[in-house]
Structure 1
């Protein structure tokens, strides 16, 4: 198990390095000069050269890349060009919105998707199964930002139960902050709950035909009892992988949803930084999202190996 975890951690570190390399050089190739953007069209060549030197833009790309990596390892993500503040502080201030949003959406998708998948599997071929699968297919097809607008129209404009957007800091009013994340969480959770329902149903249907289910039936258990006591646990193995992928998608999906609901999270920070050509801030915030995604996949792989000993015994990649 230790060797398995070590192999996964090496892959995690290599993925982060390659991702950082791609992010740095892709952003470096974007047209436009950050120094020119800051000074405006009235800047002189002397002022432009001076600012580029202060920002370190005149150094070779490989020196700037490894300097950026070394700084991040020490907790220094640089200073934002436009906001004149440390990037690490800006990210820390926004992560308190993005992380709870992704976690709430994950809880909602599990609370909705897994029970619906179990119900559909137990009523396989019946009207309930067909109805749930139609709803799941619809949920996958609907864009989360469009669903978010519908939720806002219904619960914020018509019913006036929830705020239409914005965010109150947690330390000011935790209840109001939570209320502000309900609609965005629902918008993010809809497609993920639909995927979970379909995966859970498929896994449970496959498990229901296994020998251990027939053995349980032979011992006197009903089909429902056999599936609930023995089938669900085994069907959760492939679902674990999907859950890891879903959290990664939820973290990345906050970029769009945060802009729809005007939430001051990490996604909105990246969007604003891109529009202002603040490359230092874009790089720092993007690498944090990638760390969150790859770390989730690492934890998922290790959890899968803990649940399924066959995976670590054969040292599967």
Structure 2
């Protein structure tokens, strides 16, 4: 297990390095001059040259990349061009919105998706199964931002039960902060719950034909009892992998939903920084998203190997 975890960790580090290279140099190739954007079109060449030197833009690209990576290893993500504040502090403030949003959406998707998948498998081929699968297909097809707008029209505009957007800081009023995350978390959770329901149903349908289910039925258990006591646990292996993927998707998927609901999260920070051509801020925030996704996948691989030892025994890498 130690060797397996070490190999996965080395792959995690290599992925981060490649992602950092791609993020840095692709953003570096974008047209436009950050110094020109900051000073405006009326800036003189002398002022532009001074600001480029202050920002470090006149150094070779490879030197700036090495300095950027070395700084991040020490916790220094640089200073935002436009906000004149440490990037690490700006990211940390926005994670207080993005991480609870992704976590709440994950909890909702599990609480809704897994029970629906179990019910559909229990009544396979019946009307309940067909209805759940039709709803799941619709949930996968509906974009989160469009569903979010429908939720806003219903619960914020028509019923006025929840706020249509914005966010109250946790330190001011935790209850209002949580209320501000309800609608966007539901919008994020819909497609993920639909996928979980389909995966759970498929896994349980496969398990239903196994010998241990027939043995449980022969001992007097009903099909529902056999599935709940013995089938669900064995069907969770493929679901575990999907859960890891979904958490990564939810973290990155907040970018669009945060802009729909005007949430001051990491996704909105990236969106604003791109518009202002604040490359330092874009790089720092993007690498944090990559770190969150790759770390989630690493932990998922290790958790899967702990549950199923066959995976680490036959894994060539």
Unaligned runs of 5+ in 1: none
Distance 1:303 1:110 in 2: 17
* 1:256-290, Cα deviation, whole Å (9 max, x unpaired): 00000000000000000000000000000000011
- Matching residue of 1:292: 292
Distance 1:274 1:207 in 2: 48
3-state SS of the aligned residue for 1:18? helix
- Matching residue of 1:229: 229
- Matching residue of 1:155: 155
- Matching residue of 2:103: 103
The 4+ residue runs of structure 1 with deviation greater than 4 A are: none
- Matching residue of 1:90: 90
State which drifts further: 212-221 or 147-156.
Answer: 212-221
Distance 1:18 1:261 in 2: 33
Matches within 5 A, 1:144-293: 144-293=144-293
* Paired positions, count: 317
Would you say 1:56 and 2:50 are equivalent positions? Answer: no
Structure-1-length-normalised TM-score: 0.99
CA shift for structure 1 position 316 = 5.0
State which drifts further: 253-262 or 307-316.
Answer: 307-316
Root mean square deviation of aligned Cα? 0.8
Distance 1:113 1:251 in 2: 18
- Matching residue of 2:7: 7
CA shift for structure 1 position 315 = 3.2
Distance 1:63 1:183 in 2: 45
Would you say 1:47 and 2:60 are equivalent positions? Answer: no
CA shift for structure 1 position 313 = 2.5
3-state SS of the aligned residue for 1:289? helix
State which drifts further: 204-213 or 255-264.
Answer: 204-213
Distance 2:215 2:26 in 1: 57
3-state SS of the aligned residue for 1:59? coil
CA shift for structure 1 position 211 = 1.8
Structure-2-length-normalised TM-score: 0.99
Unaligned runs of 5+ in 2: none
Matches within 5 A, 1:68-147: 68-147=68-147
Distance 2:186 2:294 in 1: 24
